[in-house]
């Protein structure tokens, strides 16, 4: 009885993979105007299953390995006007990482790399944004001491800092001070602590 249940499950899994496989020249069963689903929508196919497995492995690594050095965490969000192109904007990520390095501190991306956690590219895995959100929350929860934040003059609606990191940092009792730095003007604002 046990073997037959395993056989049925494996057969169903194999059959679902066969149905999900692309067929050269189309399929007689498919509607002629059928369009492929967006890569942004996780699929229950071999590729979709691989994305889920990859995301689960990365999430486990984040949970085990991402531990910011006390008093050294730097967060960032937003864009600033391009210095030479009027209609262009630049992310403050490079500016934040340079400031962090010059001041003996660290942002999340180098911290992940230092621990051997490799985030999949957004184009390669539809779960990447959820992984970044998870990593940001873990980073903010485990941060302690004086925290610095580099902010652009424009922030994306529903940005990670205002919606995930900042609320966690404000509640985090191990965070003694939060200083927000305006990337364009250099102005500093203390939003927690003295």
* Per-residue confidence band for 178, with pLDDT thresholds at 50, 70 and 90: very high
Q: How much is the average pLDDT of 161-185? A: 97
User: What percentage of residues in the chain have a pLDDT greater than 90?
Assistant: 66
- Provide mean pLDDT across the span 126-149: 96
Answer whether residue 141 is part of any domain: yes
Task: Report yes or no on 38 lying in a domain.
Answer: no
In angstroms, rounded to a whole number, what is the distance separating the alpha carbons of residues 31 and 106?
52
Residue 40 pLDDT: 53
* 25 within a domain of the structure (yes/no): no
The verdict on residue 162 lying in a domain is yes
* Domain that includes residue 99, residue range: 68-192
Q: Which residue has the tokens 């395993």?
A: 6
Domain membership of residue 89 (yes or no) is yes
Task: Give long-range contacts, CB 8 A cutoff, 24+ apart: 115-123.
Answer: 115/61, 115/65, 115/66, 115/67, 116/61, 116/65, 117/58, 117/61, 117/62, 117/65, 117/66, 118/58, 119/58, 120/54, 120/55, 120/58, 123/39
Give the pLDDT of residue 21: 55
Do the domain assignments include residue 143? yes
Asked whether residue 148 is domain-assigned, the answer is: yes
Q: How many structural domains are present in the chain?
A: 1
pLDDT at 117: 96
Give residue 109's pLDDT band: very low, low, confident or very high (50, 70, 90): very high
The pLDDT value recorded for residue 194 is 82
Tell me the pLDDT tens digit for each residue of 4-63: 566 555 555 555 555 555 655 554 444 444 445 555 555 566 777 888 899 999 999 999
| Residue 46 counted as domain residue | no
pTM reported for the whole predicted model: 0.74
Q: Looking at residue 31, what is its pLDDT?
A: 46
The strand ranges marked E within the chain are: 74-77, 79-81, 89-91, 145-151, 175-182, 188-192
């Amino acid at each position: 009885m046990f073997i037959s249940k395993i056989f049925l499950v494996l057969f169903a899994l194999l059959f679902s993979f066969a149905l999900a496989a692309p067929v050269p020249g189309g399929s007689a069963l498919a509607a002629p105007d059928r369009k492929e689903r967006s890569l942004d929508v996780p699929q229950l196919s071999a590729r979709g299953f691989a994305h889920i497995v990859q995301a689960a492995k990365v999430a486990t690594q984040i949970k085990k390995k991402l531990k910011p050095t006390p008093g050294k965490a730097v967060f960032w969000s937003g864009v600033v006007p391009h210095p030479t192109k009027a209609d262009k904007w630049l992310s403050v990520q490079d500016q934040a990482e340079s400031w962090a390095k010059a001041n003996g501190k660290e942002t999340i991306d180098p911290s992940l790399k230092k621990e051997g956690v490799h985030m999949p590219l957004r184009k390669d895995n539809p779960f990447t944004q959820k992984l970044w959100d998870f990593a940001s929350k873990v980073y903010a929860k485990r941060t302690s001491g004086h925290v610095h934040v580099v902010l652009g003059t424009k922030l994306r609606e529903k940005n990670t800092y205002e919606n995930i990191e900042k609320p966690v940092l404000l509640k985090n009792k191990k965070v003694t001070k939060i200083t927000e730095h305006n990337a364009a003007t250099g102005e500093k604002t203390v939003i927690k602590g003295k």
